[in-house]
Amino acid sequence: MMAKLLTPEVFMIVKVVAVFIIVLTMVAIGTWVERRGAAFIQDRVGPNRVALFGKFRIMGLTQPVADGIKFFFKEDVIPDNVDRILFVIAPIIAFIPATMTFAAIPFGRPFDVNGVNYFLSILPPATNIGVLYILAIGSMGVYGIIIGSWASNNKWSILGGMRASAQVISYELAMTMAVVGVVLSTGSLQLDEVISAQTGLWNVVPQFLGALVFFVAMFAETNRLPFDLAEGESEIIGYHTEYGSMKFSMFALAEYANMITAAALFVTLYLGGWHFPWLDQWIWGSILAFLMKLIFILWIFVWVRWTLPRFRYDQLMRLGWKVMIPLSLVNMVVVAIFLAYRG
Amino acid sequence: MTDIKKEIDVKTDRMIVNMGPSHPVTHGTLHIVLELDGEAVAASDTKIGYLHRGVEKLGEYRTYHKFIPFTDRLNYTSSINNNVGYTLAVEKLLGIQSPPRAQVLEVIACELGRIADHIVCVGINAVDIGAFTVFLYIFKYRELIYDIFSRMSGARLTTSYTRIGGVMRDLDDKTIQMIRDFLRDFPSAIDELEALLTRNRIFYDRTRGIGEFSLEDAIQYGYTGPCLRASGLEWDLRKNQPYLGYENYEFEVPTGTRGDVYDRYLVRVEEMRQSVRILEQAIENIPEGPVIIQDSRIALPPKEDVYNTIEGLISHMKLVMEGVKTPVGEVYSATEAANGELGFYIVSDGGSKPYRIRVRPPCFPIFSSFDEQVKGHMVADAVAILGSLNIIAGELDR
């Protein structure tokens, strides 16, 4: 019965719906993990008052739901003197690329049923531009920030927007250079090739330097502390100062969606994707392995945020241009020489 | 930076932004107008007065006792130090001294207040730089101090603990035990704080060389307290002009070398350790005796006298209705509050109300140098500098 229903078209629809729901749920749970994780690190309890039907607290897991409802029903204020069209579309521009990027990530092992090959990612894994697609779409999110801060007609916001654009451009370079190392060693831009090349040895071991650069750049790309200069709530209050209600929440959701995508990309490029000893021989096992790695990286995001202070703008730039880019170049050259020597 | 601009001849405009009166970093109502050249601060202009309540003028219409609650609202992060500073000034005017037990209790109160103030300053400074967790780690201990305060005085924030000629209430055994527990646990919290910040590369880079202020400038501006000591001068009124028997305690005065944000942080952390040392000595050597002067013209007589003897009742009534009579004269008395020299200048015309009270807040001279310190730094540095100066709007504007 199930096997009859399983056609590539149906499977595609199921995948799209499932991935979209799971990513958005993870975004919501991400805010919960952030707050409870912060509380855990800071030796306090964290949000635990919201109760389902007034009875079941479930460790505050309903807090994101309450927050979401609140954001929906708040008055949607558009201040005077803002550029109304840009002001409204900026959160959308920030949010959509963040959710689009996940489409290329393979999150489980492909399988064959009745001679048809099924793959667990929305875009076909044989897409020739897999890595490029992610880098291209992923860097579009910053337009939302820049447009939003510009449209806000607020000096502090525009400072945040300028910081975000400079930061993303600088770290995008280092990130891409680091990815070039992976592409070189794989010999392909297809993400399924990248994953299958990591069978046995994850890229994080031979390309430790590249992984490090990518990991640091990931924080800068997603505007997370120690690089959350675009927000910098104690200095410039943030690029989204003028935003409220659901528009503000779109920016917040975009941040978490970006985190998930960046973490998924890191897992795919350096941590072997859905590979895991013993576990990846089953389809569900491979999905589980992928999710476990993803959640681990996401937890590191939270962990770092609540441990480190914030960089200053010029220090951030210095780190990006003088440390990160040379390091990624070194990684690239080392990989290239190694490959050339091996033939 | 300017050279590049000249070379390629770009026209740049300066941007004027308002930091405050409502801004997350002002912690109170300060107003700083920054003139920004990109992210760099080209000039700044500080505006004060948003929290002006006319405390000094209000003092002229109240008896000496009734001014004590107003001192709570000066530096509200360490109210108890202001209470002590004010009553010491009135006692100096009257030419009296509080009993030995009261003096030790005041020292305990002062040092606890100093620790609470430094916790706020260091913690908030860390928050402004982006390290939120550090702040919560040590803020827990401020809560313990406030629990102690509420047992000592009945209030957590607005303590009004001291009276002219002593303190309002004796310490009970449970409070002493709480202080001992606090002294046992707190040093490890300071270690934790230092583990997270002192050798943290990001924190070091964010604070070293920022807001550097030379000793000459600091003295010119009238710096006192941790900010002066961070610039390198070993000046602490507890050592240099001892009051409340501070000469009997063993402690050191930490100093910095460069007077930047990092040095101020280090000085404050070390002062917390020294305050713990003072407290350890004080809590073990509390002398027996009354906690307030036994003079019914200055301090309220005990309740059993008020209810049972006519003399007690009359002196109680006279003191409440008329207040303490002071000799004609003027007096300046300064104490080392958490932020620096907290001075009270009182002119008396012989009545029961002061002719004039003037408060010398420690952070007014310090804040006046903010513009000079912040010039050439970046917006994020302005935030760090403001936090390290520990500007409390309550005592700045009065």
Q: In chain A, what residues touch B205 (CB-CB under 8 Å)?
A: 311-312, 315
B250-293 pLDDT tens trace: 888 888 888 888 999 999 999 999 999 999 888 888 888 888 88
Q: Do A306 and B130 touch (CB under 8 A)?
A: no
Q: In chain A, what residues touch B380 (CB-CB under 8 Å)?
A: 232, 235, 310, 312-313
Residue from the list A41, A226, A310 with its beta carbon closest to the beta carbon of B133: A41
- For residue B262, the Cα-to-chain-centroid distance in whole angstroms is 20
Phi-psi region of B233 (alpha: psi -120 to 50; beta: other; left: phi over 0): beta
Complex ipTM value:
0.83
Question: Best interface-test mutation with B: which of A235, A237, A318 has the largest number of B CBs within 10 A?
Answer: A235
End-to-end CA distance of chain A: 51
Residue B295 half-sphere exposure toward CB, CA atoms < 13 A: 16
What is the value of pTM for the model shown?
Answer: 0.86
Closest CA to A134 of A165, A107, A108, A102: A102
Phi, psi of B90 (to 5 degrees): -65, -40
For chain B, how many helices (H) and strands (E)?
18, 8
DSSP state of A322: I
Query: What's the mean pLDDT when you consider all of chain A?
Result: 84
Question: Alpha-carbon distance B392 to A50, whole Å?
Answer: 36
A134-176 pLDDT tens trace: 888 888 888 888 898 888 888 888 888 888 888 888 888 888 8
Q: Do A310 and B129 touch (CB under 8 A)?
A: yes
Q: Do B126 and A312 touch (CB under 8 A)?
A: no
Phi, psi of A113 (to 5 degrees): -130, 125
The three-state secondary structure class of B347 is strand
The residue-averaged pLDDT of A121-126 equals 75
Determine the residue type at B166. Answer: G
Question: Alpha-carbon distance A132 to A138, whole Å?
Answer: 10
Q: Do B202 and A310 touch (CB under 8 A)?
A: yes
**pLDDT band, very low/low/confident/very high, at B44 (cuts 50, 70, 90):** confident
B99-141 pLDDT tens trace: 988 989 989 999 999 999 999 999 888 888 888 888 888 888 9
Residue A204 has pLDDT above 50, yes or no: yes
B120 to chain A, closest Cα gap in Å: 16
Residue A4 has pLDDT above 70, yes or no: no
The residue-averaged pLDDT of A280-295 equals 85
Q: In chain A, what residues touch B197 (CB-CB under 8 Å)?
A: 309
Q: Would you state the pLDDT for residue B9?
A: 67
Query: What's the mean pLDDT when you consider all of chain B?
Result: 87
Residue B63 has pLDDT above 50, yes or no: yes
**pLDDT band, very low/low/confident/very high, at B332 (cuts 50, 70, 90):** very high
Q: Would you state the pLDDT for residue B115?
A: 92
Q: Would you state the pLDDT for residue A1?
A: 47
Q: Do B380 and A312 touch (CB under 8 A)?
A: yes
The domain spans of chain A are: 74-342
**Which ranges constitute the DSSP H helices of chain A?**
2-5, 8-41, 63-73, 84-100, 130-138, 141-151, 155-186, 191-196, 208-221, 245-270, 283-305, 313-318, 325-342
Phi, psi of A282 (to 5 degrees): -105, 160
Tokens read off for B162: 């001291």
- Region of poorest pLDDT, from A115-129, B45-59, B181-195: A115-129
Residues 6+ apart with CB under 8 A from B171: B105, B108, B152, B286
Residue A28 has pLDDT above 80, yes or no: yes
A224-279 pLDDT tens trace: 878 888 787 778 887 888 888 888 888 888 888 888 888 888 988 888 878 888 77
Question: Alpha-carbon distance A155 to A252, whole Å?
Answer: 21
B100 to chain A, closest Cα gap in Å: 41
Phi-psi region of A339 (alpha: psi -120 to 50; beta: other; left: phi over 0): alpha
The residue-averaged pLDDT of B16-35 equals 83
**Which ranges constitute the DSSP H helices of B208-340?**
215-221, 225-231, 237-240, 261-284, 303-308, 310-322
Tokens read off for B246: 């501070």
Residues 6+ apart with CB under 8 A from A146: A161, A164, A165
**pLDDT band, very low/low/confident/very high, at B3 (cuts 50, 70, 90):** low
Strand duo B340-348 + B329-337: pairing: antiparallel
Largest CA distance in chain A: 67
Q: If you compute the radius of gyration of chain A from its CA atoms, what whole number of angstroms results?
A: 21
- Is residue B113 within 8 A of residue B338, CB to CB? The reply is yes
Q: Do A43 and B140 touch (CB under 8 A)?
A: yes
Q: Would you state the pLDDT for residue A12?
A: 82
The three-state secondary structure class of A261 is helix
Question: Best interface-test mutation with B: which of A35, A163, A305, A310 has the largest number of B CBs within 10 A?
Answer: A310
Q: Do A155 and B15 touch (CB under 8 A)?
A: yes
Residue B133 half-sphere exposure toward CB, CA atoms < 13 A: 24
B9-24 pLDDT tens trace: 666 778 888 887 888 8
Q: In chain B, what residues touch A237 (CB-CB under 8 Å)?
A: 23-24
